Amino acid sequence: MRVLFDVEARTDAAYDSTYHHKLRGAIWNALEGSSHVALHDSEERTGLCYSNPFPWGGMDAGDERHILVSSPRDELLATIAAEWLDANELNVGEMPFRVTEMRDLYPDVGEPGSTGRMRTETGVYAVLPPQYEDDDSGEYETYWRPEHSLEPFQKYVEDQLQLDHDQFQPGYLPGPAEVAAPLFDEWNCMKTFSIPLTVTTGTTLTVVLSKWEFTYEVRDDNHRRHLNLALDTGIGGRNGYGLGFLNIVEREGSAV
């Protein structure tokens, strides 16, 4: 499930490309006082992901933008929605908004046999195992780049989604890392780029991310569950910072 928030700029503002930490903070502030706040420091997967405020670009007072927040935890999303609507203000870094409307969305890749295309609207965070490390000390993470080939990226994405499957799906169902076929039919990297990512107050990492388009044909009900789970949780790592957020951009040849 995901919630689409319509927001309106309260003042003129430049686009804050380092929005991740501030938007994450606004989400957890909305969960303060609820049972969900315990997830913040828990070993459990939160299953939480979100888009950037879109469309991208500077704004004048009164301009409309949108934010999508997704999770398999419907009650968590309902709590965020209620708090944001009640407060009617949402400050994302240097971008002050007013929340004007929200609506629930239930994207679905379709029944077995359906085909489509997905796109990562935010960069995917993927780190590589020790054999790919640039630094023998192990002090720094090695981020995926195209020269590393597709295989380690694909494995990282499927292993991360397997953790979400283990958290949110019944144990008797196979997860994406437990089936022979890949999650997507085509994995097309559009670009890689680096950003400063604030992971805690006072700690900022320079991370390398990648943006992708994927094609799929739904093989069976298990594959459908895996793809729909990825729409809820995002793909890759650090989804709780809004990385790896997915949208369906085409399904059975029709835009959605």
Just list the catalytic residues: 41
Q: CA-based angle 79:232:102, to the nearest 5?
A: 45
Nearest Cα neighbor of 209 from 235, 231, 229 is: 235
Given a contact cutoff of 8 angstroms between Cβ atoms, the answer to whether 13 and 62 are in contact is no
Residue spans of alpha helices (H) in the chain: 20-31, 74-87, 150-168, 221-233
Nearest Cα neighbor of 226 from 135, 144, 150, 162 is: 162
Number of H-type helices and E-type strands within the chain: 4, 10
Long-range contacts of 96-100 (CB under 8 A, 24+ apart): 96/9, 96/10, 96/11, 96/13, 97/7, 97/8, 97/9, 97/10, 97/53, 97/65, 98/7, 98/8, 98/9, 98/10, 99/5, 99/6, 99/7, 100/6, 100/7, 100/8, 100/64
